[in-house]
Amino acid sequence: MHETAVHAHDRYGILAADSTHTRISRNVVEGLDRGSPEAPNSGTAGIGITDSDDSYADVVANDVQGHDLGVVARESRVGVIRNNYVSGNCVGVLVFDDATTEIPDAGRQVEGGDWQLKWNEVTANDRFCLAGVGEVQASLRVSGTGIGVVNADTVTVRHNHVHDNVPSVDPASLQFPAGGLVLVSLPPFNDALGIDPGPAEDVVVEGNTLTGNVPVDVLLSSPEVSPSLLDVGAVDFEDDTCGSSVPPELCAP
């Protein structure tokens, strides 16, 4: 899909599901808030690559604003998200290894991962929304996350400018962590087939600028749901510029 203006869709602005070798480039994708302040909704995602064993997707040079998720790669393997401007969403960019697929059916599991995120500007993703999938559909309080990597493996995050992602509500009230770059391993959920997608691992974070994000520029894992990923050496940080992190040594001078 190329050079298209997409506005105010109910779920996805652009969706490539159960797909391969998809290129999504130079589109302007804008959401429209249809909900009340208590339960706002502007569509699941601006751009979604989902349920694809061999997606080999290239998501490049898009402007994505005003959705629950700006760009999401869920239950999909192999792709690049590069040179995009992502702003005004609840979560800017999300790479998520879920328990099972949705399209064409919920009977498969894809080991989501092998994605490259590079040269994106991810800023002011400050919307508040109620998000979720499966049994937790529209029940998770989410706001102020720039880039999130959840349970996915073999992900590189290089040379991105991630700045001023600030939640519009108290960060302590959220059920998905806010921050510039959030790397999280969640316990199994939405797993009627008893499938554990496993932790986020083999993640490389290199040469990024992460500034002005609240509550932190970088969050590694979540002590409420799992030990720090540093304990298993699952994430490699190199030459990043950031001011605050959990654990604090990630952004130490």
Render pLDDT for 10-23 as a digit per residue (tens, 0 to 9): 678 899 988 999 99
Q: What is the structure's pLDDT at 109?
A: 74
> Which has the higher per-residue pLDDT, 25 or 224?
25
Q: What is the structure's pLDDT at 184?
A: 86
| Burial status of residue 235 (CB atoms within 10 A of its CB: 0-12, 13-18, 19 or more) | buried
Q: What is the structure's pLDDT at 247?
A: 87
Mean pLDDT lowest among 61-70, 100-109, 181-190: 100-109
Average pLDDT, stretch 114-137? 83
| Burial status of residue 37 (CB atoms within 10 A of its CB: 0-12, 13-18, 19 or more) | exposed
Q: What is the structure's pLDDT at 135?
A: 47
Gap between the Cα atoms of 65 and 86, Å rounded:
6
Q: What is the structure's pLDDT at 13?
A: 86
Tokens of 10: 């109910």
Gap between the Cα atoms of 129 and 182, Å rounded:
17
pLDDT tens, 144-200? 999 999 988 999 999 999 999 999 999 989 988 999 999 987 766 655 666 667 777
Average pLDDT, stretch 53-71? 94
Main-chain dihedrals φ then ψ at residue 18, nearest 5 degrees: 50, 55
Q: What is the structure's pLDDT at 78?
A: 96
Half-sphere exposure (Cβ direction) of 67: Cα atoms closer than 13 Å: 31
Gap between the Cα atoms of 185 and 153, Å rounded:
10
At 39, the pLDDT band (50, 70, 90 cuts) reads low
Gap between the Cα atoms of 136 and 24, Å rounded:
29
Tokens of 26: 């130079």
What is the pTM (predicted TM-score) of this model? 0.89
At 232, the pLDDT band (50, 70, 90 cuts) reads very low
Question: Which residues fall within 8 angstroms of residue 25, CB to CB, at 6 or more apart?
Answer: 1, 2, 3, 58, 59, 60, 61, 62
